[in-house]
Chain A
Amino acid sequence: MASLEVPELAYEEYTNRQLAAVPLAILAVAVAVLGITFALTGTPLALGIEFTGGTELTIATTADQDEVAAAFEQEPTSIQPVEGQQQYIVRFAASDLEGFDEDGQAILQDLVDQADQNLEPAAGADGSSPVVGESLTSASFGQQIQFTALIGLVVAFIGMSAITFGLFRTFVPSVAVSLSAFSDLIIPLAFMSLFDIQLTLGTVAALLMLIGYSVDSDILLNNHVLRRSGSFYESVHRSMRTGITMTVTSTVAMLVMAIVAWFFGIGLLRDIGLILAVGLIADLMNTYLMNVSLLRWYKFEGVAR
C-alpha cells in the first residue's frame, strides 16, 4: 500500500540564489497582482460588505436564480446559490443602494418586503417569509471594522516577529521566519484577488490563523538547524519530514472544511478553509526553499563573516 514518504530534496545541487529565486519570484508576482488590482480598482482585493457596507439576504425560495434576481427593484451586486438547498445568498453593496447612508435599515426592510412579495418561500422556512437571514453594515461601520482588522493583522505580525527574535536571538534566522510569514500572507491575498474572493471577517481570521500556523514549520526548521547537532542537510531533512507531514495534514483538513462548507453554503467556514489551504501550500514552498536558502547562507557564510 502507498505510504506517505516525504521526498528528499537534493539541496546540494542548487545554489542559494536558485533556491530562493522561485519563492521570491512568486512573491513578486503576488505583489504585482495586488498592485495592479489596486491601481485598477482602488483596493488591492475585493472587500466584502462587512467592510464596504451593504446588505446580505439569505433567501429560501422555490424560485430559480434569475427569478430571485428579478424580484428586486435594484439589481443585486451578487447572488450565490447554496448547494443542496433551495437557498440563495443575495448581496447588495452600499454604493449600489440609493439612500443607504441615511437610513440603511429602511432600505433593508424594502428589500425584505420585495422578497416577501415576489418570491415563494421554500418548505424549510419558518413562517411565510422567504427571507431566512439578513444582515446589514453601514458604510461608516464598515470602515471602522476595516481599520480595526488592519491594525489587528499588523499587531499580530509584529507580535509574531518579536517572539521569533526573542526565541532565536539571531538576526538572519528570525528575518527568515518573518519574511516567510509575510510571503505566506501575501500569496493568499493575491490568490483572493485573482479568484475574486472577498476579504471578509472570516478571511481576516484565516490570515491571522495563518500567521500562527505558518511559523510552526519555520520554527521547527530553525530549531533543528540552529539548536541541534548534526550536519546542516541532515537537520533540514529531519525537520522537513515532520514539517511537511504537519503542513500537509493541516492543508488537507482545511481543504476538506472548505469543500464541505462550500457545499453547505456556509461562507465563513469556506473562506477560512480555502485561504488557510492556499497559505499553507505557500508556506511549504517558502519554508523549504526560501527559508532553507537563507539559513544555509547564514550557516556557511553569514556566521563566518
Chain B
Amino acid sequence: MSARETFSKWWRIAVLVLLVSVALYALFIPGGMFGSSDTGSVGDANETATDDSLHNLVFGLDLDGGARISAPATGMTVDDVTLDHGGTPEQAQQAGNDLESTLRESFQSEYDDFQAADVTVRYHQGDDSYTVEVFDDNVSAAAFAETLSAEGHDVSENDVEDRVTEETRESMVSVITSKLNQAGLSGGQAYTTETLGGEHYIVAEAPGYTAAELRALLEQRGSIEVRAYVPDGNGSQENITLLQQEDFDTIMSAEYDNEQNQYQVGVTLHDGPAAEFESQMNEIGFTSEGVGQCSLRQNAAGNYDFADSGDQWCLLTMSDGEVVSALGLEDRLATNMRSGEWKNDPRYNMVTGRGEGNEEAAQHANEISMNLQAGALDAPLDFGNAQVMSVQSSLGDQYKTDSLLIGIFAVFAVSGMVYVRYRDPRVALPMILTALSEVVILLGVAAAAEMAITLAHVAGFIAVVGTGVDDLVIIADEVMDEGSVTQARIFNNRFRKAFWTIGAAAATTIIAMSPLAVSSSLGDLQGFAIITILGVLIGVFVTRPAYGSILRKLLTSEE
C-alpha cells in the first residue's frame, strides 16, 4: 500500500485522535492551553478550590455559586445639542463642560438631592454635537427639556429619550468591573446585553456573592464630591460644588492620623482643578474670614444639622449625596492657599471624622478611598426592572455532580439502544466512542476558551450526543444497506450519500440555533446554542467522517 493510500485511508481517524488528544491536554494538564490565567486576581476561597481541581474547566455561576444582577441604567438623554465654540477640540470640550456646570447649578437650585454626577454633557467630534444626560429620577422629562431650553436650546419634552448613551453604559461596565476587582472577586465580571426590543441591560456577575451582597455593591453609586457651605451674602447659606470625582488625581488608602486624631484619605488634585479650587476658596472667603469657622455637628441620628447657626464656612465631603463630614479649613492650608502656593503641590486630606476607634469615620474613609479609586457609576441602576439570580456554592456543587450523572445516564441509554439495534459490536462500539469523543472535544474547546459552563451548556452537551448518534445511525444504516460491504468503492459511494443527509440536517440545526447564539439577552440559552452549533460543526467535519473511516476499516475486507 502506497503512502498516499495509507494517508487517504487514515487521515480522518488521525484528525479525530489528534483533536481528542489536544482536548484532553486542554482539559487535564495543569495550566491548560495558554498557561494559567489565574494570575493577577486577588485570592479568595474559590481560587484555592480551582487550583486544586483536576481539570481546567471553568464553571458558571449556577454551577459554582455566586450572584448575577441585570438591570437597566436610570437616565434621560437629549441628542444633537449644538453649541458655539472656538473650533478647536479643546474649546469644544470646554464649551461642553461649561454647559454641564450651568445645568448642574440650575438643577441643584431646584432639586435638593441632585448630585454633581447627575448631569453629563458629552461632545461628539464626528458631527460636532453634544448629548446631554440626566441621571436623577426626580427630574421629569418636561423639567429636563425646560432647563435646557432656558439655556437657549430648542428642546421639547419629546426630544428627551428615556435611556442613557452607550458611552455611559460602557463607563458603568468598567466602573463595576473595577469595583468587583477591588472587592477581591476572581471571576467577577460586568457586561451589557441588548434585547431585541432595543433595551440595554447592564449585567454584573460575582462568584461567591449572595444577591444581597452584590446589590449592596451596585447600589452604592460611589460618587464623591466636595462642596462649600458658605454665606451667600444675604444672611443665609449656600452650597457650591467645588470638586468632583474626575478632579482627583492620586488617591491614598484610608488611614488613621495619630497626630491629628482623625480618619482621612490623602488625595492630590489634577493641576487645572487645583488652581480653580484654590482661587474659588480664596474668592468665597474660605481662606480669610472663614478659616476654622465651621460649627456644624452631627445630631444623634448621625446627620448633619443645617439649621440656622450663623455664618459658616464648611467643606462638605459628600458620598452618594450624603454629607460624610463637615469641616472648617485649617490654618496651615489656608495660608498656603492664600499665597497661591498650594496649587503647586495640591495635596489635601479628606477627613471623615475624629477620634480613634470611631468606626463610622473609619468606614467612611475606606469607602471614599475605594470609590474614588474605582470611580463612580455614571448612572444609578434601576433595580425595579432587574433580573437577579444567585446560587450558593453548595447547591452549585450538587448541580455539578448531578449533571455529570445525568450525562452518564444519557450516554448509557444511547449506548444500550444502539447495541440492541445493531447487535454488532463492530458497528455499535465505535459509534458510542465517536459520540463520546465529540463531547470530549467540545469540553476541550470549553476549557481552552475558558468558557464558563452552566447548566444550559450541560443540556447542550447532551443534545450534541443526541444529534451525534442520530447521524452515526444514518451513516451505519446507509453503508450496510443491502448486505455486507466488501469493496471500498461501494463503501465510499454510500458514505457520500449518507453525508448529504447529515449535512442537510446539520444545516437546519445550525440555522435553528443561530438566533439564540447571537442574542445575548436570553442569557443562559446562548451557551446552549453555542455548544450545540459547535458540536454539530465538529461532528460534521471531524467525528462523523472519522466514524465512516473506522467502519470502512472494520467492514470492508480488503487488506
Contact = CB atoms under 8 A, between A and B. Distances in A.
Interface of A: 2-4, 55, 58, 60, 85, 101-105, 108-109, 112, 124-127, 131-138, 140-141, 144-145, 147-149, 151-152, 155-157, 159-160, 162-164, 167, 201-202, 204-205, 208-209, 211-213, 215-216, 219-220, 223, 227-228, 238, 241-242, 245-250, 252-257, 260-261, 264, 266, 268-269, 272, 276
B474 A126 contact: no
A220 B473 CA distance: 12
Question: When A and B form their complex, which 3 residue pairs have the shortest distance between CB atoms, in order from nearest?
Answer: A212-B509, A159-B511, A136-B388
B511 A148 contact: no
Contact of B473 (A126, A242, A256, A257): A242
Interface in B411-431: 412-414, 416-418, 420-421, 423
B405 A260 contact: yes
Given A260-B405, A266-B406, A145 B508 contact: no
B519 A152 contact: yes
A266 B470 contact: no
A3 B196 CA distance: 50
A212 B388 contact: no
B387 interface: yes
B470 A246 contact: yes
Contacts, number: 255
B469 A264 contact: no
Interface string B319-350: 00000000000000000000000000000000
Contacts of B197: 144, 147-148
B79 interface: no
Contacts of A204: 522, 525
B504 A256 contact: no
Contacts of A202: 456, 459
Contacts of A104: 383-384, 386, 388
23 contacts: A60-B395, A104-B388, A124-B394, A133-B395, A136-B387, A141-B70, A141-B201, A141-B386, A144-B196, A145-B522, A147-B195, A152-B516, A156-B512, A205-B516, A213-B470, A245-B417, A246-B474, A249-B414, A253-B462, A256-B413, A261-B406, A264-B406, A268-B455
A103 B388 CA distance: 12
B268 to A, nearest CB: 38
Given A213-B467, A227-B500, A228-B497, 15 more contacts: A58-B395, A101-B384, A104-B386, A134-B210, A138-B384, A156-B513, A159-B514, A209-B532, A245-B473, A246-B469, A252-B417, A253-B462, A257-B410, A266-B455, A268-B524
A219 B504 contact: yes
Contacts of A260: 402, 405-406, 409-410
A257 B408 CA distance: 9
B261 interface: no
Contact of A163 (B402, B413, B511, B532): B511
Interface in B499-537: 500-501, 504-505, 507-509, 511-516, 519, 521-525, 528-529, 532
A138 B195 contact: no
A212 B471 CA distance: 12
A241 B383 contact: no
A169 to B, nearest CB: 12
B388 A269 contact: no
Contacts of B516: 152, 156, 205, 208
Contacts of A249: 414, 417-418, 421, 466, 469-470, 473
B512 A241 contact: no
Contacts of A101: 384
